[in-house]
Structures are given as C-alpha cells and as structure tokens.
C-alpha cells in the first residue's frame, strides 16, 4: 500500500552518481511522456523515505546505494505530491529488473539527455554544485 493523503502523495527520488561521476536516469513506463527522469517512487505505508528509495532502486534496477543523504524536499501542485530527494553513490551494477523501467542510462552532468524535465535538470545541477 503506497502512502498517500487525500490531498497529496509522498515519493522519494535519488540523484545517484557512479564511480565515473555520471548520474543515473531511467525511462519509466508510468511517467507522462515516458521521458528520462530520476529514479524513485512512492513510499509504502509506514516506510521511511530513505528505505523507500533504496527499495525502489533495488526493485527497479537491482542497484544498491551508498552514502545516502537528504538533498532537498519539493512540493508539486500538479500532481499534488511531496517529493523527498536524496543524493547517493551507486554500489554495484544497474540493469532494468522491472516492467516499470524501459531503459536506464548513466549520463555525464554536462550531457544530460533530451526529454529530461527542466526541473530535474536544474536539480541535478544544484546537486553537482553543492
């Protein structure tokens, strides 16, 4: 059961960086337009945000995370959503393991793919700069 409120949903996302300082992005089946985006998903009832993002990455791409730290919290009006964003490092290899992910890619911070929403592009840049 995912955590939701009549007024909003709660999600956790991650800016995951590998040993070559590239960021992990996913093409997610359920995202509007199926463009590239940060990995993450909804919290289950009673689940802490850090545990949710670890679970999502393991389920969707078989990746474990190291050095997880809270980066920011964002609120969206449409959809009504609270998103908790973490920064972390990848531990191991990633490959799609869920029907929810059509593709994954590791991208240089200066060469992010088209189709990545502008707000996520800025978020990644802020994470790199801080």
Per-residue pLDDT of 20-53, as tens digits, reads: 999 999 998 776 666 899 999 999 989 999 999 9
d(CA 37, CA 100): 13
Out of 23-32, 54-63, 80-89, 90-99, pick the least confident.
Answer: 23-32
| Sequence-separated (6 or more) residues with CB below 8 Å from residue 5 | none
Cα–Cα distance list, 73 to 78, 90, 106 (Å): 16, 21, 24
Task: For residues 36 and 27, give the distance between their C-alpha atoms in angstroms, rounded to a whole number.
Answer: 5
Amino acid 2: pLDDT: 53
Is the model more confident about 52 or about 2?
Answer: 52
What percentage of the chain exceeds 70 in pLDDT? Answer: 92
Helix (H) or strand (E) holding 5: none
Q: Are 17 and 56 in contact (CB under 8 A)?
A: no
Q: What is the pLDDT of residue 33?
A: 65
* Cα separation, 119 vs 97, whole angstroms: 27
Q: What is the pLDDT of residue 125?
A: 94
Q: Which domains does the chain have, with CATH numbers?
A: 9-129 (3.90.79.10)
Start-to-end Cα distance in the chain:
35
Mean pLDDT (the chain) is 90
93 and 16 in contact (C-beta within 8 Å)?
Answer: no
| Cα 48 from Cα 19, distance rounded (Å) | 27
């Amino acid at each position: 059961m995912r955590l939701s409120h009549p007024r909003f949903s709660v999600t956790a996302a991650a800016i995951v960086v590998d040993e070559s300082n590239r960021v992990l992005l996913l093409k997610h089946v359920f995202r509007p337009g199926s463009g590239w985006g940060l990995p993450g998903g909804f919290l289950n009832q009673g689940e802490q945000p850090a545990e949710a993002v670890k679970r999502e990455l393991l389920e969707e791409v078989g990746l474990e995370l190291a050095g997880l730290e809270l980066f920011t919290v964002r609120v969206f009006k449409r959809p009504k959503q609270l998103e908790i964003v973490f920064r972390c490092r990848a531990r191991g290899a990633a490959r799609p393991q869920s029907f929810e992910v059509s593709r994954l890619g590791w991208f240089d911070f200066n060469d992010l793919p088209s189709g990545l929403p502008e707000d996520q592009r800025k978020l990644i840049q802020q994470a790199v700069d801080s």
